[in-house]
Amino acid sequence: MTRKKVTVVGGGFVGSTTAQRIVERELADVVLMDIVEDMPQGKSLDMAESAPCIGFDSAIIGANDYSMTANSDIVVITAGLPRKPGMTRDDLLQKNAEIVGSVVDNVAKYSPNAILLLVSNPLDVMTYHAWKRSGFPMKRVFGMAGVLDSARYRTFIAMELDVSVKDVQAMVLGGHGDTMVPLPRYSTVAGIPITELISAERIAAINERTTRGGEEIVKLLKTGSAYYATSAAVLDMVESILLDQRRILPCCVHMNGEYGLRDVYCGVPVKLDHEGVAEIVELKLSSDELAMLHRSAEAVRENVKKLNY
């Protein structure tokens, strides 16, 4: 059986860790692509040499030439400038739009049937940009955000209650930034809503920490941003696609009337299968929750306008 092929564009911490997770899980053969000469080749060789110890057979190579990424099934785009202390995701907008635009042009040339999975910040805007630039169907262009934000929410809930994170499920909608929308009503521990287990005051504090989750890590690291949880979130999505698991995961997708939103990319729960976004799942939101989701989407829309769309 021929293995699937995944290209990860961007050989920094997020990209290289994502590549490592995919090959170690034996989901696909991987190309780690970066414009820095020899760097992705060195990282890929190092990973390949770990295979005898870890015990995986998937192949990984590094590349500086997009021709080596040809016919990829999925292209994960992590390329771009990382956040630094005091920098918002929006500060990255113009520069990363140039970088992502160039990446998408090359991907569309060499892998016209690929699924594009965006990780570059500001996430929601870059995903819209990639969709417009590529001309790909919207079901094949989406972003990783909600899986990461929900993972942070689940972590903080488990910490608060001193329980196994395995029993915690959580849902975070909206843009990947300060306007994200944690949903306590749809967040549970062993099926029990957290609203029955945690006080409203503590839930508010956990919501706030989740919203600032990326910023908290940037401040602690001082010279970079999160990559362990980020790459793990990408892995969840890649696995659901390649194994046709049809998992329901919160992802940044194009809205076409769902939740009353149109022509904007925003985080909502979707079913992921081998073709990409199989279905957008519409939750029954309260008027307050829906208003917060619309405010979050409007913040994305305002940033998209800065790219002259």
Which one of the listed residues 129, 176, 254, 294 is annotated catalytic?
A: 176
Verify that 97 and 189 share a domain, yes or no: no
Verify that 124 and 12 share a domain, yes or no: yes
Verify that 152 and 254 share a domain, yes or no: yes
**How is residue 237 written in tokens?**
């999505």
Q: Is 176 a catalytic residue?
A: yes
Residue 124 has, within 13 A of its CA and on its CB side, a CA count of 33
Number of C-beta neighbours around residue 35 at 10 A = 16
Residue 178 is predicted with a pLDDT of 87
Beta strand ranges found along 97-178 (DSSP E): 115-118, 141-143, 168-169, 172-173
In terms of residue numbers, what domain contains 79?
A: 5-143
**How is residue 252 written in tokens?**
């940044």
Number of C-beta neighbours around residue 205 at 10 A = 14
Chain center to CA of 298: 20
In a 10 Å sphere around its CB, with 0-12 CB exposed, 13-18 middle and 19+ buried, how is residue 65 labelled?
exposed
Verify that 112 and 217 share a domain, yes or no: no
Verify that 135 and 152 share a domain, yes or no: no
Verify that 66 and 212 share a domain, yes or no: no
Chosen domain end from 101, 119, 143: 143
**How is residue 285 written in tokens?**
């939101």
The amino acid at 274: H
The amino acid at 269: P
For residue 234, what is the domain's CATH number?
3.90.110.10
Verify that 207 and 67 share a domain, yes or no: no
Verify that 44 and 134 share a domain, yes or no: yes
Instruction: Name the region of 86 (left: φ>0; alpha: ψ -120 to 50; beta: rest).
Output: left
Q: For residues 70 and 64, what is the distance between their CA atoms, to the nearest angstrom?
A: 13
- Do 107 and 6 touch, CB atoms closer than 8 A? no
Q: 40 Cβ partners below 8 Å, 6+ apart?
A: 11, 16, 32, 33, 34, 62, 63, 64
Chosen domain end from 92, 113, 143: 143
Question: Which residues are bridge partners to 272 per DSSP?
Answer: 247, 277
Q: For residues 270 and 75, what is the distance between their CA atoms, to the nearest angstrom?
A: 19
pTM, to two decimals: 0.96
Verify that 184 and 111 share a domain, yes or no: no
Verify that 169 and 241 share a domain, yes or no: yes
Residue 89 is predicted with a pLDDT of 60
Q: For residues 181 and 48, what is the distance between their CA atoms, to the nearest angstrom?
A: 40
Verify that 108 and 168 share a domain, yes or no: no
Verify that 117 and 10 share a domain, yes or no: yes
Domain count, the chain: 2
Q: What is the pLDDT along the chain (309 residues), one digit of tens a residue?
A: 689 999 999 999 999 999 999 999 999 999 999 999 999 999 999 999 999 999 999 999 999 999 999 999 999 999 998 766 776 766 779 889 999 999 999 999 999 999 999 999 999 999 999 999 999 999 999 999 899 999 999 999 999 999 999 999 999 999 988 899 999 999 999 999 999 999 999 999 999 999 999 999 999 999 889 999 999 999 999 999 999 999 999 999 999 999 999 999 999 999 999 999 999 999 999 999 999 999 999 999 999 999 988
Chosen domain end from 143, 174, 201: 143
